[in-house]
């Protein structure tokens, strides 16, 4: 399948530990949303988490961006709640 549309979402955190928490929380979603129109991957380099999204069309790309931004936001919220309770 040709995937002519792509983007990378970069999320920078204050520490590598914080980035690792988010990466581990969202990485389990890789492959869960992928279909014949889009695919994604998650990577971390120190304190930066990158989500790469490839899509066959702009609608699928937008849907992927929206989904992955929600995943990251949820992971950040949960991580913050856990740290607040510690």
> Going from the N-terminus, what domains does the chain have, and what CATH number goes with each?
5-85 (3.30.310.50)
For residue range 5-17, list pLDDT tens digits in order. Answer: 999 999 999 999 9
Distance CA 6, CA 40 (A): 9
User: How much is the pLDDT for 85?
Assistant: 61
The token pair at 1 is 């399948």
User: How much is the pLDDT for 80?
Assistant: 77
Three-state secondary-structure class, residue 10: strand
- Helix or strand holding residue 34 (H, E): none
Q: 51 - beta bridge partners?
A: 9, 42
Q: Choose among 9, 74, 12: nearest CA to 47.
A: 12
pTM above 0.85, yes or no: yes
User: How much is the pLDDT for 64?
Assistant: 94
Ranges in the chain, pLDDT < 70:
1-2, 33-34, 81-86
Contact 8, 45 (CB under 8 A): no
């Amino acid at each position: 399948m040709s995937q002519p549309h792509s983007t990378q979402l970069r999320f920078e955190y204050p520490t590598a530990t914080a980035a690792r928490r988010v990466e581990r929380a969202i990485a389990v979603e890789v492959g869960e949303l992928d279909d014949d129109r889009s695919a994604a991957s998650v990577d971390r380099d120190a304190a930066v988490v990158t989500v790469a999204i490839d899509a066959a069309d702009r609608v699928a790309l937008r849907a992927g961006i929206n989904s992955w931004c929600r995943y990251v936001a949820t992971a950040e919220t949960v991580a913050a709640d856990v740290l607040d309770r510690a």
